[in-house]
């Protein structure tokens, strides 16, 4: 088959993989697969939920239901088939059992349990394997997975909704709503695609957010609160929704009164107590702890101090700025606190910037890692 046709069918698999994006599959990657016979896609599948069948297995089941002879077909899959048993059997065994003779793989799986082993297992079974077809696109789809599986740390996206002059609230603290409905709907889709959403106590007290998924369909992520003295009231929306979805996890310090720790846990929150730092809490330690809890994809939603701390620590992988066509002036609250930047060369810069219009607002996204 020609390279152009291989790329064409891999793009079909990528489209399927993109449908799997969201916290339902985490910590597994988003994977799509298509089966091609006589230069035509005849069956397909994508990984829908962690612990359930992988993309290849679902594509084979689709083919079997249609009576397709897989011995004459090719399999296109965006990520190297797994060669180890987890919550599901190894996909390489399923591929070999079908009798299929050709497999086209988008990218190597960075998971040390898989990396290269899947391809070697297929080749040992006499299957022709073509490797690294649209590998950049396939890995980019799972940038969060690549970081998590290789470092144990969550992939961090910083999300802010600001005015044209970078403000998040008026001088009196009014912040609802800076952006319009379309932007807020998109922001909720980002929550639904994340394992956890994090805010600081300033945002929790001022805005009283619930951080649950609304306006779109999706699972509620874990809600994460940084509160070094546990000043957030236990009758807040975060506590009221503590038992929903991924639950509420609070990171605090030994400066928090023990009585408040007891009350927070009684309200349903998981409370982690760290030694205090000069900035309150160590964000690198928070991220390591979240990674150990299985959080692979973290969305930071504010406030200004948390955003600044994350940027200064070099912890942000991607930024998403929703910008409203509004101006509030110098007495309004900034979206990001002081970064201590003295020269332009030291300023964080987005790479691979993308712009999207959402009603009257604009979304600017880019990578920082």
E strands of 185-267, at which residues?
A: 196-200, 222-226, 248-253
**Whole-number Å distance between alpha carbons of 58 and 41:** 14
At 224 the three-state DSSP class reads strand
Residue of 7, 52, 56, 365 with catalytic role = 56
CA distance between the termini of the chain:
36
Rounded Cα gap, residues 312 and 306, in angstroms: 10
154: which residues sit within 8 A by CB, 6+ positions away?
144, 147, 148, 195, 196, 287, 290, 291, 295, 296, 297, 298
Count of CB atoms situated within 10 Å of the CB of 263: 16
Give the position of tokens 């297992």: 121
E-state strands within the chain: 32-36, 41-46, 74-79, 102-107, 128-130, 155-162, 167-169, 196-200, 222-226, 248-253, 270-274, 297-302, 318-323, 333-334, 351-358, 361-367
CA angle 242, 244, 245 (to 5 degrees): 125
Whether omega for the bond prior to residue 108 falls within 30 degrees of 0, making it cis, is no
The answer to whether 56 is a known catalytic residue is: yes
Q: State the residue for tokens 């048993």.
A: 85
Task: Please tell me the distance from the alpha carbon of residue 223 to that of residue 234, in angstroms, as a whole number.
Answer: 14
3-state secondary structure of 307: helix
Query: Among all residues, which ones are annotated catalytic?
Result: 56
């Amino acid at each position: 088959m020609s390279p152009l046709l291989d790329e064409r069918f891999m793009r079909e698999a990528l489209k399927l993989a993109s449908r799997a994006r969201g916290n339902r599959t985490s910590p597994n990657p988003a994977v799509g697969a298509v089966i091609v016979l006589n230069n035509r896609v005849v069956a397909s599948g994508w990984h829908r939920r962690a612990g359930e069948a992988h993309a290849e297995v679902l594509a084979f089941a689709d083919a079997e239901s249609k009576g397709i002879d897989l011995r004459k077909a090719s399999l296109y899959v965006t990520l190297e088939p797994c060669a180890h048993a987890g919550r599901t059997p190894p996909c390489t065994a399923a591929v070999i059992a079908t009798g299929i003779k050709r497999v086209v793989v988008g990218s190597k799986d960075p998971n040390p349990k898989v990396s290269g082993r899947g391809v070697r297992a297929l080749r040992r079974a006499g299957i022709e394997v073509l490797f690294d077809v649209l590998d950049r696109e396939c890995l980019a789809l799972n940038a969060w997975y690549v970081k998590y599986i290789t470092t144990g740390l969550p992939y961090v996206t910083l999300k802010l909704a600001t005015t044209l002059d970078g403000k998040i609230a008026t001088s009196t603290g009014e912040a609802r709503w800076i952006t319009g409905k379309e932007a807020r709907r998109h922001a909720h889709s980002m929550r639904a695609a994340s394992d956890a959403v994090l805010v600081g106590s300033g945002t929790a007290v001022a805005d009283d957010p619930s951080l649950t998924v609304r306006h779109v369909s999706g699972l509620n992520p874990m809600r994460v609160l940084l509160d070094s003295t546990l000043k957030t009231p236990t009758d807040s929306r975060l506590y009221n929704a503590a038992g929903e979805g991924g639950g509420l996890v609070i990171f605090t310090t030994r400066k928090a009164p023990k009585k408040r720790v007891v009350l927070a846990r009684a309200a349903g929150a998981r409370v982690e107590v760290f030694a205090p730092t000069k900035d309150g809490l160590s964000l690198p330690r928070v991220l390591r702890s979240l990674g150990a809890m299985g959080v692979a994809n973290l969305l930071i939603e504010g406030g200004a101090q948390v955003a600044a701390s994350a940027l200064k620590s070099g912890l942000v992988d991607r930024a998403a700025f929703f910008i409203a066509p509004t101006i509030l002036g110098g007495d309004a609250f900034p979206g990001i606190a002081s970064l201590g930047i003295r020269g332009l060369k030291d300023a964080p810069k987005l790479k691979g910037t993308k712009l999207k219009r959402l009603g009257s607002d604009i979304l600017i996204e880019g990578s920082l890692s």
